[in-house]
Amino acid sequence: MADLYTQLMRMPVTSTVGKRIGLPQPVELDRGSSAVGGRVLLGGAGRLAEAAARVLAELRADSATALDDPVRELAARAGLDAAVFNPAAPADHRFKALVFDATGISTSAELVELQRFFHPTVGRLQRSGRVVVLGGERRALEGFTRSLGKELGPRGVTVNLVHVEEGAEERIGATLKFLLTPRSAYVSGQVIRVGTNKHKPVAGRTALVTGGSRGIGAAIADVLEREGAHVVRLDLADAELELDITTPDAPERLAERFADGLDILVHNAGVTKDRTLAKMPEDRWQSLMEVNLLAPERITEALVPVLRDEGRIVCVSSLSAIAGNAGQTNYATSKAGLLDLVTDIELDRGITINAVAPGFIETKMTAAMPVGVREVGRRLNSLRQGGLPVDVAETVAWLAGSGVDRNVVRVCGQSLLGA
Ligand code: NAD
């Protein structure tokens, strides 16, 4: 259900007035489907074009509509150099997604290829469309994708950059499928790094989701179940596994409970205890730190030995960890501490660890904010609206299934905060 402002901006009279005075007009984002939902144009010439074409051909299989001709040609003749778009194509020749392989760009002079591919095509992107730039480590591409995300976001279009390690060309499938479909509705302006770890579907795997009885945690559990995982929801109450994660014996009890093995561990349980630092007593600081950081650290330590090979750990951090937020020194410290865990922990046996950093998500937590703060939070991003718990959940499910490792992915509609 869209928020009140968005509902008003979709009504004929208020929308006309809103447009005249320049108010943001949030579009309805596509969600739920695993199909691209339209034509895809693939361009650029580099080491990833062939692998990308193969992924697009696979996506076409479960996509209701056909992919664009050049892509079909590419898929058929795997290894072709580039798809050529004809600017003289009729105006109704529109695209749901544009994918550009920028790994062929080796000099700064060649960056003009970005302008050459996108200039004639961005205007043909449909609402809730997708742009994915595939590249090696080049900062120039980050400036480009982040700016394009801000230009196209108001139309519900997301723009993301995927750095693909040499030798990981065949590992882009899960990430490309996520970024090209409505599952990534609220992920934009991100730089994702794909390495050589294998994709491992979540179907048939056992997952533990802390704080799984409501809000974002319940959505994560639902999406993992939809993907075929056996999910254990842990929470203080109303859950299959009722446990306070801060109790001293919680790590040991969990290690016993999953002695037969665990595949996916999602640290989602979290609390806020906002107050400016001058008014923050130690017990208020520390009781939050126990839930948000110390318990996840202890539980991770206890559960890594029972995690099966190619196990997956996903931490739910927050945009506050990256941008900072007045009144949240305790919260931001704890959530940024989770990012340290993602960077520092030593893992082997193909186990990966990642974090999501949600921005403004429509939950009970954000519904309780003062109306002014809430409205600003909702609009200060490229998509001009808040995200939904399912947007965070889809991102967690992608991280739990792909081989992506040590990434921090913001689910924030390309929030202007901390960008
Ligand atoms: P929520 O309060 O609705 O859900 C949190 C769940 O964690 C609750 O069910 C609660 O009972 C459980 N929990 C709390 N302490 C626990 C403990 N000691 N042991 C076991 N379970 C415990 O919150 P939410 O909005 O769904 O947020 C989920 C996560 O996402 C949190 O970590 C939060 O910090 C993070 N987050 C939320 C937003 C947002 O906009 N809502 C933004 C950024 C990050």
Last residue of a domain, one of 172, 194, 216: 194
Is 80 exceeded by the pLDDT of residue 13? no
> Taking the model in full, what pTM does it have?
0.93
Mean pLDDT of 13-42: 79
Q: Evaluate whether residue 159 is within a structural domain.
A: yes
Same-domain check for residues 36 and 16: no
Residue 201 included in any domain = no
Is residue 326's pLDDT more than 60?
A: yes
If you take atom 19 of ligand 1, which residue's CA is the nearest one? 244
Pocket of ligand 1 contains residue 291 by CB under 6 Å: yes
Per-residue model confidence as pLDDT tens digits over 66-101: 444 544 454 444 433 344 556 666 777 788 999 999
| Vertex 362: Cα angle to 358 and 365 (nearest 5) | 85
Query: Based on the domain organization, do 123 and 183 belong to the same domain?
Result: yes
ipTM of the complex model: 0.99
The distance of Cα 164 from the centroid of its chain, to the nearest Å, equals 17
Do 120 and 231 lie in a common domain?
A: no
Asked whether residue 173 falls in the same domain as residue 270, the answer is no
Are residues 278 and 328 both part of a single domain? yes
Q: Average pLDDT of 270-274?
A: 96
Instruction: Please indicate, yes or no, if residue 419 is contained in any of the structural domains.
Output: no
How would you classify residue 60: left for phi > 0, otherwise alpha for psi between -120 and 50, otherwise beta? Answer: alpha
CB-ligand 1 contact for 415 (6 Å cutoff): no
36 assigned to some structural domain: yes
For the cut 90, the answer to whether the pLDDT of residue 45 exceeds it is no
60 & 2 share domain:
no
Residues 156 and 284 in one domain: no
Residue 269 Cβ < 6 Å to ligand 1: yes
Q: Which of residues 138, 159, 194 is at a domain's end?
A: 194
Residue nearest ligand 1's atom 33 by CA = 270
Mind listing the pLDDT tens digit for each residue in 175-233? 999 999 999 999 999 999 999 999 999 999 999 999 999 999 999 999 999 999 999 99
| CATH at residue 87 | 3.40.50.720
Report the separation in Å between the CA atom of 265 and the middle of ligand 1, taken as the mean of its atom positions. 15
Q: Is 356 domain-assigned?
A: yes
Is position 418 within any domain? no
Q: Per mean pLDDT, which range of 81-95, 342-356, 400-414 is the poorest?
A: 81-95
**Same domain, yes or no: 348 and 384:** yes
Q: Is residue 416 part of a domain?
A: no
Cα of 220 from ligand 1 centre, angstroms: 12
Q: Are residues 109 and 248 in the same domain?
A: no
Number of domains in the chain: 3
Q: Is residue 307 part of a domain?
A: yes
Domain boundary residue, one of 194, 214, 232: 194
- 23 shares a domain with 37: no
Domain range for 323 is: 206-411
pLDDT tens digits, residue range 300-320? 999 999 999 999 999 999 999
Query: Catalytic residues, which ones?
Result: 331
